Amino acid sequence: MDFIQTIHGLWRWVLAIAAIILIVKSLIGLAKGAEYGEADRKLAFYFAMAVTIQFVLGAANLIGKISVGAFSPRLHMEHLVTGTIATALSHMPPMFKRRSSRARFAGTLILAVLSILVALANVAMVRGSWFYRLP
């Protein structure tokens, strides 16, 4: 169980890097009036997959905590619900696929920022800070 929790804790740095890349790319696309292309779509997809992996690791960790009696209903259920919201937000950019490039960049940017803000709040709620246990 500690192994999964460690991986779950470290994976947040993958999310942070993916979010920064996606946010910067979306800002550049908006500023330049660029065409939303396949690379942009894939970047949003990879961010959503990174968030999903984090969610699955968290769910596995939750199951482990339940199995050893370390489950705190309020804390862990709030963490699960908040993680579900962050994951859902990260998967929403495809809803803009029939919109203009500007709307796609803006929508992806807003959803990525919201997703990462929810994730930040989620980690802070459980650990007190995003920087818990720096390796």
- pLDDT at site 129: 64
- pLDDT at site 134: 46
Separation in Å, CA 66 to CA 1, 3, 72, 83: 11, 16, 9, 17
Token pair recorded at residue 65: 């905590």
- Residue in the structure block whose two tokens are 């550049």: 28
Q: What global pTM score does this model have?
A: 0.87
- pLDDT at site 103: 96
- pLDDT at site 130: 59
Mean pLDDT by 10 residues, the chain (135 residues): 85 93 97 96 97 94 85 81 95 95 96 94 77 52
- pLDDT at site 122: 86
Cβ-based neighbour number of residue 57 at 10 Å:
20
